[in-house]
Amino acid sequence: MVKSSGSDDARALIRSLRVAYSATPTTLKIIDLYVCFAVLTALIQAVYMGMVGSFPFNSFLSGELSCIGTAVLAVCLRIQVNKENKEFKDLPLERAFADFVLCNLVLHLVIMNFLG
Amino acid sequence: MATSGWFLTLTLALVSVLPLCVAFSAESPTDRRILVLVDDLSIRSSHSIFFDSLKSRGFDLDFKLADDKRLALQRYGKYLYDGLILFSPSIKSFGGSLNTAAVLDFVDSGHDLILSADETASDLIRDIAIECGIDFDEDQSSVVIDHISYAVSEKEGDHTLIASDDFIRSDVILGEKKIEAPVLFRGIGHSLNAANSLVLKVLSASPSAYSANPNSELSSPPSLTGTAISLVSVVQARNNARIVISGSLDLFSNRYEKSGNEQFVTELSKWVFHERGHLKAVNVKHNKAGEKAEPAMYRINDDLEYSVEIYEWSGTSWKPYVADDVQVQFYMMSPYVLRTLSHDQKGRYSTSFKVPDVYGVFQFKVEYQKLGYTSLSLSKQIPVRPYKHNEYERFIKAAYPYYGASFSMHHLSVPQIAGQSSIYLLSSDRTNFLWNFDFEKQISEL
């Protein structure tokens, strides 16, 4: 009884999430896709490192941090450009985007140097 | 005329060479000039076998009475002798400038000493022995007695002439040839100072021996008993000065034929006067594997080769030293690498190893201390540097996925930025800043 109602609840939850997400603007969905890709790449690298060992550890770290860093920056961008988010309603779109670009440049400058 | 000219040249040559070849030196470490201090000059004849063996081996013996007023070990700050034999057990105080401190200074400056006591040993002789880590039995009248292993004689004696064959097992101290007959000993026993790690028992008494006065009843248990009694001991100081201390002067005398005494004291004198067991290390070399020249610095993980030549002085020449236990350390605060050196039977010891993955100032260290041999202590400093920036391995196959990931993140962000910017900014109803960006206007606004 409890179990079936639980799975029903879950199904209902997912459905409502999907409905709510379909209302998300396309631009935000693109960012979400980008974040998913970055996280997935990070996971693949972690699995690969588990298989071949940690030998070029600096390379592993830079590959991993490159993905995680990019994902974090993209999430930050998404928070700032989301129209629903009232906290950043005074922040111009250009400013948020310029932050994202600049941080990405700095991150990848470091990554390139650490990659070995 | 010509002959006399030759003669003069020869004499001059001899005179100029003589001081070099008669003295102890690093190149020829056997002692040459030996001062023998005696209570009574009759010891020259009663101990003639021992002294003759020394003379036949090239030693220059200078006999003096121990209370001679003109006694001096050094003149103008230079020692006149390389070795000192104290065969004067009963002397109360030396003549001339000699005293306990002078004898100890003599040893402290690397010279050798044979000290022999007997039942008449004076406080002066006992004090010198104590300074060397040897405590003679405090009871002045006691001698070593052994009712089981004593020398059999016609008349039943008091068993103070004891026979001992409990030698130290060391070929370098007592020679390679086994001492067949037991050593006969009549004299006082001593114990070793436990705090002194340099002193060694060479001849110890049998388990049934004890130290007591033979002429009186034994009222209390003797203080020294059994194998704790040392009859003859040696010391090799940290400066490689050697000392032999014996509780019996008769040990060196001609009196005991058919005993091991002659061989024992001869071998012991070879050791104490550096005819044996004196090592030198030369030609310390190290280089990168496959190279000849010695580098000023190594890099971490370099392969290197280290070699050193070790010779032993045989009394007349340097012979290759052969042992399997010489080790080298690659040392920085603690040994990072410890290798046993392999040798080629000709005195050359070598090994090769990899420099550890640690940089800093290292040392090659050889600390060789073996029973009876002079100690070797070599150290050579060498810096070890890390990889240079261009010495790291690049484009490692195993790292390609990481390269790919970070490049994809980097390069994907470019089209993503371009795509997003067009989506955002073109579709945005606000200022299209990417396409109509007016720098001048922005600056003037600032």
Phi first, then psi: give them for residue B154, nearest 5 degrees.
-65, -50
pLDDT, tens digit, for every residue of B261-311? 999 999 999 999 999 999 999 999 999 998 999 999 999 999 999 999 999
Dist. CA B348–CA B219, nearest whole Å: 61
Average pLDDT, rounded, for chain B:
86
Dist. CA B256–CA B185, nearest whole Å: 9
Mean pLDDT in residue range B186-197: 92
Mean pLDDT in residue range B313-317: 88
Q: Output B409 or A50, whichever has higher pLDDT.
A: A50
> CATH 3.40.50: which residues of chain B?
12-272
Dist. CA B266–CA B57, nearest whole Å: 10
pLDDT tens digit at each of 116 positions of chain A? 455 577 889 999 999 999 989 988 888 888 899 899 999 999 999 999 999 998 889 999 999 999 999 999 999 999 998 888 888 888 888 888 888 888 988 999 999 888 87
Q: Closest to A111 (Cβ–Cβ): which among B396, B401, B406? A: B406
**Cα atoms found within 13 Å of the Cα of residue B112, Cβ hemisphere only:** 25
**Selected residue of B413, B423, B437 to mutate for chain A interface (largest A Cβ count, 10 A):** B413
pLDDT band of B315, cuts 50, 70, 90: confident
pLDDT band of B444, cuts 50, 70, 90: low
pLDDT band of B422, cuts 50, 70, 90: low
ipTM metric = 0.87
Percentage of the residues of chain B whose pLDDT score is greater than 90: 59
The tokens for B36 are 């023998």
Residue-level pLDDT at B432: 45
What is the phi-psi region of residue B155: left when phi exceeds 0, alpha when psi lies from -120 to 50, beta otherwise? beta
pLDDT band of B443, cuts 50, 70, 90: low
> CATH 2.60.40.1930: which residues of chain B?
278-390
Element (H, E) at B230: strand B230-236
B396/A104 touch (CB, cutoff 8 Å), yes or no: no
pLDDT band of B217, cuts 50, 70, 90: confident
> Is the model's pLDDT at B415 over the cut of 70?
no
- What is the least distance, in Å, from the CA of B305 to any CA of chain A? 28
State the burial class of residue B357 (Cβ atoms within 10 Å of its Cβ: 0-12, 13-18, 19+): exposed
pLDDT, tens digit, for every residue of B91-107? 999 988 899 999 999 99
- What is the least distance, in Å, from the CA of A49 to any CA of chain B? 9
CA angle B118, B120, B125 (to 5 degrees): 75
pLDDT, tens digit, for every residue of B171-183? 899 988 888 888 9
A37/B412 touch (CB, cutoff 8 Å), yes or no: yes
pLDDT, tens digit, for every residue of B322-339? 999 999 999 999 999 999
pLDDT band of B10, cuts 50, 70, 90: very low
Dist. CA A27–CA B427, nearest whole Å: 10
The secondary structure of B286-334 as a DSSP string is: EEETT--SPPS-EETT-EEEEEEEEEEE-SSSEEE---S--EEEEEESE
**Selected residue of A111, A112, A113 to mutate for chain B interface (largest B Cβ count, 10 A):** A111
**Domain spanning B278-390: CATH 3.30.342.10:** no
Residue-level pLDDT at B270: 93
Residue-level pLDDT at B12: 46
pTM of the full predicted structure?
A: 0.73
State the burial class of residue B35 (Cβ atoms within 10 Å of its Cβ: 0-12, 13-18, 19+): buried
pLDDT, tens digit, for every residue of B363-387? 999 999 999 999 999 999 999 999 9
Task: Decide if A70 touches B, using CB distance below 8 A.
Answer: yes
Task: Decide if B389 touches A, using CB distance below 8 A.
Answer: no
Mean pLDDT in residue range B215-243: 90
Residue-level pLDDT at B294: 93
Q: Sort out which chain B residues have CB atoms less than 8 A from A37's CB and list them.
A: 412
Domain range B12-272, its CATH number among 2.60.40, 1.10.3470, 3.40.30, 3.40.50: 3.40.50
Query: Which residues have CB under 8 Å from A50's CB, separation 6+?
Result: none
Mean pLDDT in residue range B315-320: 90
Would you kindly state where each structural domain of chain A is located, as residue ranges? 26-114
Residue-level pLDDT at B158: 82
